[in-house]
Structure 1
């Protein structure tokens, strides 16, 4: 059953008429479907089968505590971009060791707090940020788990304002510079190399840009292996396009299989 559907010409959220909700709570109001949220997350989770994985919800999409709590209860991970998002996840029952800290402007205090609660990994956007994380980790005598976000220079075939994987976009490290940063991290006593990160944009309706980016990520992975740098996870990002008006979008199972 669809989370939202028309029954007798009246929009329903699951089995509840929106008109009844309006009568009870007033209008305008936001209505979410718990079943819809759980089913969408499980579609990704189940597509991986027995392959080791963690499906992380991007908190920036909706940081409502009830929404986060629903996801925490079913075992979701979380992709955060600020300390405020991290604190909301923790209050909602999420686990710090299932949080990956993305974003381009992590402050010293944010890094300190993330290390204090045991965040799973920092997705590093630049050489200066790598230095900042190392400096903070040293000051608190901890080892910071890091993943470097690379820019694969791939056209996501989406709107230019929500494209993040082209060379001219502001996000991520140039593929040709990534090896040097990984070697710096590998030698540091206060950094622990964990992953390799890539995110190419949002509202993507074709799987081919994801695969093009992954091809480049895997080439870099081979290069890292030859230099004795072990990568424990790939963080593969990008937003699956929403079917707003019957447009063709990505089949999740086919995408994960690919």
Structure 2
């Protein structure tokens, strides 16, 4: 893939703080001020380092894994997604990505999420709730390459739809893998069509590839209907 990221693929200079911190409970005493300032700095929005190539938006990597067949509430899902860290430049992205397991090497029921900073990879998030996602189901063995091509296209602003892109997800399952790209406005058909066409191009998909667009409203309804049936039947 020929874009500005390729030239920096092997740049692994320096470490990048991973923003796994949760806010401290209560106020620190004044004699702990230095420690508090250090923790606060970690939670602030990341910025490009000196001489680095800034991205148009800041992004965060997330990871989730759950046991298949175990019903998940919205609350338990939110607790299960873990933020890996945030980045603001091409170089910071590669410092994360070069150390991450590739999707094709994940096991079980696992997901990587890459979303704009401040947007949670959840249907109900304010940035996502009126939107939807393009879904592509992949045979096993293709997830790593497709995921890399997708996120490089997203970070490189190849979709050309302004602020519409929210993030992308790769879902590793037992029989197949799934990639999706989320946008803000499901009702904007011109934008969703442009995202579809760009997705087809950057992933070099065969013409007969099935691509499904699903609104988050429909996803929520399907989830609620399914869990309502499970609860009504006494299943777990």
Q: Do Structure 1 and Structure 2 share a fold, with TM-score over 0.5?
A: no
By percentage of residues, which structure has more helix? 1
By percentage of residues, which structure has more strand? 2
Greater length-normalized contact order (CA 8 Å, ≥ 6 residues apart): 2
- Between structure 1 and structure 2, the one with the greater Rg is 1
- The TM-score normalised by the length of structure 2 is 0.28
- The TM-score normalised by the length of structure 1 is 0.26
